[in-house]
Amino acid sequence: MADTAEILSGLAEIVEEVAGIDTAEVTAEKSFVDDLDIDSLSMVEIAVQAEDKFGVKIPDDQLAELKTVGDAVSYIEKNQ
Amino acid sequence: MTTFRLPPSVPGARIVGLGSSQPEHVVTNDDLARRVETDDQWIRDRVGIVERRVAQDESLVDMAVEAGSRALKDSGLTTADIDTVIVATCTMTAPIPNAAAQTAERIGISAPAAFDLNAACAGFCYGLAAAADLIRAGSARNVLVIGAEKLSDWVDWDDRSTCIIFADAAGAAVVTGARDEDEIGVGPVSWGSAGDMATVIRILEESTNKLHQEGQTVFRWATTRIAPVALDAIAKAGLTPADIDVLVPHQANLRIVEAVAKKLRKEGAREDMRVADDIVHSGNTSSASIPMALDHMRAAGRIRSGEIALLVGFGAGLSYAGQVVRVP
Ligand SMILES: CC(C)(COP(=O)(O)OP(=O)(O)OC[C@H]1O[C@@H](n2cnc3c(N)ncnc32)[C@H](O)[C@@H]1OP(=O)(O)O)[C@@H](O)C(=O)NCCC(=O)NCCS
């Protein structure tokens, strides 16, 4: 099981691959939509890759609740 | 014992003609923004569409006739050569009579086997697979396969999650027999369905009787499940991803098209593989999108005769189908 730091860095790699955003930009307090300019469809792609990488399920209704990178990290940590 | 005689079979099938048809009337994103709350940039970013064609006077059969006639002309065959007509469609407003028989009649094809096929946006690939196998088995000699859709009859023009996407068109291919293995130009089909997800794209019979989709669910499904179908179609034909010259996925959403291309490149498809983007000026035309994209790309010189194209359709049902073909 991945710890918080591992989840954050793993998630940052996924965000970089999907949306072309530098991993250094992907920090816990950032909002996906407002700060990182990631739209709802890129979020779906990020969720799919996070599911594979961390062995979690992130259904569409849950995904909509994950506003910040920190939200996603703690969701993954709880559900992995 | 009594035995049945069967017709002689042929080694396989190939596409020998392409054609397409679109209505005259262009609808821009700004036109839509005057009716629903949306904007040009949002539509370009999320679905990649700049403009689409919406039928005013043209009927579904009008478009099928035009696309079919053009494909026939392109093939060099005559109406007398065609013995089977398949129309893939999911948007006839009345289920009886079917589109295929009247389309054939209007093109001037006399008394062919004629049937409609509903596999929604996978319809053309289903029809092509059926055509190729009918030919291979000797049941048909030359088949006209048409994907024809008038989605505008089913779109709720006040629903911004669907009206920005769908449009009208027809695309067609003429399929004939291959005389030997080298001539085979339609690969084996990789196909299937996901009936457990039947409700995610459907007509709301209980209320508006218009098309409804759960956009994100469809997006997730298409971006994860379709590349494997495409790869299976390549493997079934005995090819590798690097053999693919042009990728022609159903033009559902440019973001889905790009996601499928990216996945295939990770599996060895070439960087210089051309990827169909006909949706930009045509919208999502369901079963018409694949043959029309092939036709438009060939007309624009973006693909050449003899090149290997990978087709993959997917949509309501849910249903999906893909195969490799040689561009006529
Ligand atoms: C339909 C589709 C474009 C909608 O995109 P989406 O990102 O899922 O849209 P959502 O409904 O989650 O909405 C995201 C945001 O955009 C807004 N929005 C939705 N549609 C909009 C439109 N047409 N114009 C402007 N904004 C729109 C929403 O209000 C929402 O804003 P909010 O987060 O501030 O509330 C997209 O899901 C899609 O294309 N899916 C695939 C469908 C497909 O290919 N179908 C054919 C299969 S053959």
pLDDT value at residue A2: 80
Question: Residue B234: which residues within 8 A CB-CB, separation 6 or more?
Answer: B240, B241, B243, B244, B310, B324
- Tens of pLDDT, residue by residue over B147-191, are 999 999 999 999 999 999 999 999 999 999 999 999 999 999 999
- Helix count and strand count (H, E) for chain A: 4, 0
Per-residue pLDDT for B58 more than 90? yes
pLDDT value at residue A52: 92
pLDDT value at residue B252: 97
Per the prediction, chain B carries an average pLDDT of 97
Cβ < 6 Å from ligand 1: which residues?
A 40-41; B 38, 42, 46-47, 121, 160-161, 164, 213, 215-216, 218-219, 252-253, 256, 284, 315
Look-up of token digits 């190729």: B132
- Tens of pLDDT, residue by residue over B263-279, are 999 999 999 999 999 99
Average pLDDT of span B2-17: 96
ipTM: 0.91
Report the C-alpha gap between B243 and A42 in whole angstroms: 29
Q: Is B142 a catalytic residue?
A: no
Report the C-alpha gap between B29 and B165 in whole angstroms: 10
- One-letter amino acid for residue B319 of the chain: S
Structure tokens at B120: 């929604």
- Tell me which DSSP letter residue B186 carries: B
Tell me the pLDDT band of A3, cut-offs 50, 70 and 90. confident
Structure tokens at B275: 């990827």
Q: Which of B200, B219, B254 to mutate to test the interface with A (most CBs of A within 10 A)?
A: B219
